[in-house]
Chains A and B, each alone.
Chain A
Amino acid sequence: MGSSNRKKKEKRKDFQKAKLKVGKAKAAAANFTDTSFKSKSINVNQQTLSSEGIDPVEQFKQNLSLAVNAKADTQRRDALAYLTNQLSANPPNNPVGTSGVLTKVLPLMSDGTATVRTQLLKLFRTLPPAEVGPHVEKILMYIRGGLAHLSKDIRNDTLGVLEWLLDVAGDETVSCPGGWLKTLNSVSSILGWNPSVGSANSSQGWTFTSTVTLGTKKGPEVQARQIQVLAKFLQTGFRPEAPVPYSPRAYWDNIYRLPETPNPFAYLNLFGTPRDEDSEMYPDRISRQRVFDTKWRTAISTGMDGAKKEGGIIGRSAAALDRALKSGLGCGVLGQEV
C-alpha cells in the first residue's frame, strides 16, 4: 500500500515542473555544461608539416615517435627507414642513444604489418653491438612475446630478431635472468616440442601436439628455420667459454677496483622480485648444461627424432641440431657420453 503510493509519486515526478525557491540556486538544467575550468595553455591540433629547417635532433625524435605512434603503416615504415639511415651514417647520428631507441622501438616487434617488421630488423642491425648487451633482458621479453604471438608471420620475423640478438650479444642472451630456460621454452613451444603442454593434458588421454608441415606451402622451410634457430641458440649456450688470460692484477682488481660491467651483482638479485627456476640466470656453461639435461633433453631429442624422420629440409636442419647438441653436451664437464 505504502509502496505503491510511493511508486505512483515517483512516476508522477517525471511530469512535474521543478519548483523555484527563494534564496536557493536554480537547479542545473539537464544539458548543463560546466565551463568553470581554466587552462594555461592551448594545444593546437594541426601543426606544420614542413620539415625544412628543423633541427636534426628534433627530426630524429619526431621520427622516433612517428615510428611508434603513426596510424598508417607506411608512415611507420618510412620513419623507421629514416632512423635506420641516421644510425647507419658514418658517424652514426643518434641523439637519444641506443637505449632510447630500443625502448621506443621494441613494441613494434609484434606490429601487424610485415614491411614494418622487416624494416625494424634492419634498424636493429645498424645498432652498435656493444651497446645492445646491457638491454638483452628487455629485448628478450619482447622476443618471447613475439614468439608466442598468434600470427605465424610475426613469430617468424621474431625468430630473425632472436638470430640477430644471438649474433650481437650471444653470451648475454643465454646468461641473463630467464634468458636460458624461458627462451628455450618459447622456441620449443613454436615447434610443438614443449613438454609442459603434454603433461598438462596427459591425464586426459592421448594428444598430438606437433605442428603438421606436410602439404603446406611454406611449412617445411619455416619449420626448418625454427629448428635452425633453436640449434643456434643451443650452440651459443653450450659454447665453451674462452679461458680468461692470466693477469697478475686480477686478484687485486677484484678486491679494490670498481667493476666495469653494468649491474655486476645481478646474480645476487638484491632488489628484484624473487626468481623461480625458469627466470633464474644461468651464467656459465656447466649450469646451462645441467639444467638442460634435467629438464629439456628428452623433450628436444624426441622432437628432433621425429623431425629427422620427416627428411628433406627439415631432416637436414634437425641433423644440424643433433650435431650441435652432441658437440655441446659431448665434451661436457658432466663427464657423460652422449
Chain B
Amino acid sequence: MVKRKVAALEKVEADLVNLQYKIRRDPRSYAQEFYDQWLAYEAQRQIFISSPSTVSSDDTKKFHDLVDLVAHVASLYPDLAAPFPDHLKELLNQHHATLDTELREKVVGSLVLLRRKDVIDSTSLLTTLFPILITTPSKSLRSLLYTKIISDLRESNSKTTNHRLNKTIQTVLHNLVTSDRTSTKGMWATRITRELWRRQIWTDAKPCDVMKEACLSDNEKVVVGGVRFFLGGDKEREEMEDESSDDDVDMKKIKHQGEINKKSKKRQKAYDKAIFKVKKHERKKQAPHPLNFSALHLIHDPQGFAEKLFQKHLQNTKNKFSLDNKLLVLQLVTRLVGLHKLTIISLYSWFVRYLTPKQLNVTSFLASLAQATHNLVPPDVIEPLMVKIANEFVSEASAPEVAAAGINSIREVAIRQPLCMTETLLQDLVLYQRSKDKGVVMAAKGLQSLYREVYPELLQKKYRGKKATMGLRTGEVKQRKFGEEEEGGIEGIELLEKYKEEQKQKRAEERLENGDAEKKDDEDEDDGFNSDEWEIGSTDSESSAGWIDVSDDEADVPAKKRQRRDSDASQAPNLVDAEEAEADRISKLATTSILTPADLLKLQELRREAKVDRVLGKDSKRKKELIDRHIEDGVTADDIELPGQLGKKLTREERIELANAGKPGRDEHKSTKAIRQSKKEAEGKSTTNKEKARKKNFLMTIGKARSKNKRSLTETKKSLKAHISRSKSGGRNRNGM
C-alpha cells in the first residue's frame, strides 16, 4: 500500500514554526505573510480579551502560538509590530491571575525575548515584571519572574555597569520596603538585593540602604531577610567568587581530543570557546582585585541605625519576634556596635535579664555581649554584667561546662575592654585554674594570661609570671587608661626601617672589603635624603653587589655617611626608653622621606613575613589566635562553648563515628578493595586494563593460552626477551620516550 503524502498545508500546527524560519531568513519577502499573521494575532487577541476567563483551550493554544511567532520576528518589522510590547504588558498586568499557565509563561518569555532583541529597554521590562512579582498569588509565576528579573539585571550589567538602570531598580526596591512596612512584599526587595549583592552586580551603598530599611520594617520575615544579609551577605559573596573561579577548563585534554577526534565545525567551536574561557580566566586573575567594601561598612549613619534596631526590635516589649530572630537582630546590633565603636548605653543593661544559665541559647547572648564591647565602652557599665556572669555561671556548684562558658565569655569581654574587671573578681576567677575540670582550668588560665599582658597589676603577684613582673619593673608593660588610643602609625614601618638599615650596612661592609680609596669622605656633610635612598628601596638584596659598581663614582658619599651613623647607633648602649626610640624611628622614616611604590611593596612583604614568623611560634598562643581572627569577624556562640569541651573525653561510640566519618559505608562484610571498586563503578569511572583482562570471557582467552603452551623453547625465549626490552622502553606505546 502506498503511503499517502501529507501536503505541507495540511500540517497546520507545524506551519508557524516553518513560517518563522522563513521570515527570519528573508523578512522583506515575507512581509505580507507576517502581516496576515499579525492580523490573526490581533483577531485572537480580541477573542481573548473579550472574555479571558471563558476562552476555550483551543483558542488559548492558537493565541499562544501566534504570540510566540510575533515575538520572534517583531524586531524585523518595527512598524507593523509596534504595539506588540504594549499588548503583552497590558495582558500581563490585567489578566496575570486568570491567564492559562502556559500562555502566561509564554507572555513573560516573549517580553524577555523582546528585551533581548532590543525592542524594549530593561527599565520598561523590569517595571512591568516587578509589580506582578509582588502581587501575584501564583508560586510558579513568582519564581519565573524572579529568575527573569535577576537574569535581565545581570545581562544588562554584564559589559559595563548600567548605573541608570540600577538606580531605578534600587529606588523601586527602596520604595517597596519603605512604603508599607507591615507587608511581606519587602521580602522580594531583600531577595533581589541579596542575590545581586552575592553576584557582585551591586556593590555600592544604595543596596545596603535598601537592606537597612528592610531591617527596620515591622514584618518579621522582612526584618530577618535584611539582618541575615548584613550578617552573611559578604561571606556569601566571597564563596560565590571562589566557586566561579573553580570551574576551569582542562586545556590539555581538549587539545588532545582535537588531535584524535574528527575535525568538525562543532568541535572547532568548542575548542575556540574553551580557549576564550581560559584566556578570560587568566585575564581575570591578573586584573586587580575589585575593591569591595563589606555591607557593614557601607551603612550610612550606623549609630542611628543600631539605635533604631535596638529600640524597635529588642527593647520594645511589645515585639513578638521569635527568640531565634531576636538573636539574629541582637547579633547585628552588637556587631555594628563593635565594628563602628558605637555607644548604646542601654544595650548593656538590657543584657542583664538574659545572662542566666537557664536562658535558652545563652551562649549566643554571651557572644553578643562580647561582640558589643569595645575599648570606648565605659567600664562601669560592663562591670555589673561581669559580676552577674560570675555569680550566675561561675561557682563550684555549677556544671563545669557552665563555668567554663562563663569564664570564657568574661575573657572575651575583657580582651576588648580590660578595665571592666575588679581586682577581687579577677583574683577569684583566676583561682579556678585549680578546678578538676580541664575546660574550666583552660578558661581560667586563658583569663590569667590575658591579664598578664594587658593589666598585670590586677593579678596577685604570684600569678603575674616572669615576663609581666619584669615588664612592670621596667615600665614596659603599661596599663592603658580608658579612652586612650594606640598611637597611629604605619603597620610594619619599623620593619622597613630595619631592613633599610641592614641593607646599608651590608653595602658599606662590602665596600670596606673592596678597599676603596675614598674612605676619607666620611665626614662630608649630607642632608640624608637624596635619590639614592629611593633606589635602595627598590633593589633586591641579592642584586646589591652589582649595583655598587655602577654608582661607584658619584653616589658613594652619602652611603658611607649613613653607614657610619648606623654603626654609631648600634654600638652605643640603648639608654633611652624603648618606646621613645620607637616613636623617634617612626617619625624619622614616615615624615622625612616619601615612600615609593617599591618601598610599599617591600613593606607588604615584610609584614607578611612577620606574620608568618608569629604564627610559626615566636610569639604567644593568644597573639596567634588574635592574628588569625580578623577583627571584623564577630564572636559566635562556638567561641564561648567550644573551649569548655576541651578536656572532654569522647565516648566509644563517638570515637567510632569520628573515625568512620569520611569512609565508605560498610553494610555487609566486604573487602576494602571491593568497596572501592563498587564506589568507582557507581561514579561512572572506567576500569583498569588489569580489571578488564580479569573479567574477559574465558572462551575468548583459551585459544591464545593453548597456543602459548605449544610454543617451542626458542619461541618462548624470544617473546620473554621482547617483553623485557619492551618494558624497558616504556611499553608498546613508548611512554616516557
A interface residue numbers (CB < 8 A to B):
2-4, 6-7, 12, 15-17, 68, 107, 110, 112, 138, 141-142, 144-145, 147-154, 178, 182, 185-186, 189-190, 192, 194, 196-197, 199-201, 204-205, 207, 209, 273
A-B contact pairs, 11 of them (CB 8 A): A3-B239, A7-B246, A15-B664, A15-B665, A107-B59, A142-B43, A150-B12, A151-B12, A196-B80, A199-B79, A207-B31
> A307 CA to B633 CA in the complex, in Å?
85
| Mask: chain B, 261-301; 1 = CB below 8 Å from A; 0 = not | 00000000000000000000000000000000000000000
- Whether B39 lies near A144 (C-beta < 8 A) is yes
Does B461 sit within 8 A of A, measured CB to CB? Answer: no
Given the known interface contacts A7-B246, A201-B28, the answer about A185 and B39 at a Cβ–Cβ threshold of 8 Å is: yes
| B32: contacting residue among A4, A141, A154, A197, CB under 8 A | A197
Of A110, A192, A204, chain B has the most CB atoms within 10 Å of the CB of A110
B50 to chain A: which residues have CB within 8 Å? 138, 141
Name the CB-closest residue of A to B12.
A112
**Complex interface residues of chain B between 22 and 63 (CB less than 8 A to chain A):** 28, 31-32, 35-40, 42-44, 46-47, 49-50, 56, 58-59, 62
Does B679 sit within 8 A of A, measured CB to CB? Answer: yes
B79 to chain A: which residues have CB within 8 Å? 199-200
- Whether B662 lies near A12 (C-beta < 8 A) is yes
- Whether B31 lies near A197 (C-beta < 8 A) is yes
- Whether A149 lies near B246 (C-beta < 8 A) is no
Name the CB-closest residue of A to B37.
A148
* A-B complex: 6 closest residue pairs judged by Cβ atoms: A148-B40, A145-B43, A3-B242, A148-B39, A144-B43, A200-B79
B interface residue numbers (CB < 8 A to A):
9-10, 12, 15-16, 19, 28, 31-32, 35-40, 42-44, 46-47, 49-50, 56, 58-59, 62, 77, 79-80, 239, 242-243, 246, 662, 664-665, 679, 682
B36 to chain A: which residues have CB within 8 Å? 148, 150, 189-190
A182 to chain B: which residues have CB within 8 Å? 42
Of B12, B16, B43, B243, chain A has the most CB atoms within 10 Å of the CB of B43
- Whether B9 lies near A152 (C-beta < 8 A) is yes
- What distance in Å separates the Cβ of B684 from its nearest Cβ neighbour in chain A? 12
- Whether A141 lies near B43 (C-beta < 8 A) is yes
B15 to chain A: which residues have CB within 8 Å? 150-151
> A336 CA to B15 CA in the complex, in Å?
47
A194 to chain B: which residues have CB within 8 Å? 32, 35
> A207 CA to B43 CA in the complex, in Å?
26
Name the CB-closest residue of A to B29.
A207
B12 to chain A: which residues have CB within 8 Å? 112, 150-151, 154
Given the known interface contacts A141-B43, A141-B47, A142-B43, the answer about A3 and B246 at a Cβ–Cβ threshold of 8 Å is: yes
- Whether B37 lies near A150 (C-beta < 8 A) is yes
Name the CB-closest residue of B to A209.
B32
Given the known interface contacts A3-B242, A185-B39, A194-B35, the answer about A145 and B47 at a Cβ–Cβ threshold of 8 Å is: yes
> A39 CA to B577 CA in the complex, in Å?
90
Total of A-B residue pairs, C-beta within 8 Å: 98
Name the CB-closest residue of B to A178.
B46
- What distance in Å separates the Cβ of B204 from its nearest Cβ neighbour in chain A? 26
- Whether B31 lies near A200 (C-beta < 8 A) is yes
- What distance in Å separates the Cβ of A43 from its nearest Cβ neighbour in chain B? 18
> A178 CA to B42 CA in the complex, in Å?
12
B58 to chain A: which residues have CB within 8 Å? 68, 107
> A194 CA to B32 CA in the complex, in Å?
9
Given the known interface contacts A141-B43, A148-B43, the answer about A2 and B242 at a Cβ–Cβ threshold of 8 Å is: yes
A4 to chain B: which residues have CB within 8 Å? 246
| A149: contacting residue among B31, B40, B46, B56, CB under 8 A | B40
Name the CB-closest residue of A to B54.
A103
Name the CB-closest residue of A to B55.
A107
| B19: contacting residue among A141, A144, A150, A196, CB under 8 A | A150
- Whether B32 lies near A192 (C-beta < 8 A) is yes
> A111 CA to B10 CA in the complex, in Å?
11
Of A107, A148, A152, A190, chain B has the most CB atoms within 10 Å of the CB of A148
> A182 CA to B47 CA in the complex, in Å?
14
Name the CB-closest residue of B to A197.
B35
- What distance in Å separates the Cβ of A323 from its nearest Cβ neighbour in chain B? 28
Name the CB-closest residue of A to B47.
A141
| B42: contacting residue among A142, A144, A199, CB under 8 A | A144
- What distance in Å separates the Cβ of A100 from its nearest Cβ neighbour in chain B? 12
Given the known interface contacts A112-B10, A150-B16, A197-B31, the answer about A145 and B77 at a Cβ–Cβ threshold of 8 Å is: no
- Whether A16 lies near B77 (C-beta < 8 A) is no
A273 to chain B: which residues have CB within 8 Å? 49
7 A-B pairs besides A7-B246, A150-B16, A153-B9 with CB distance below 8 A are A68-B58, A144-B39, A145-B62, A150-B15, A186-B43, A199-B79, A200-B31
> A201 CA to B58 CA in the complex, in Å?
33
A112 to chain B: which residues have CB within 8 Å? 10, 12
- What distance in Å separates the Cβ of B30 from its nearest Cβ neighbour in chain A? 10
A205 to chain B: which residues have CB within 8 Å? 28
> A149 CA to B28 CA in the complex, in Å?
20
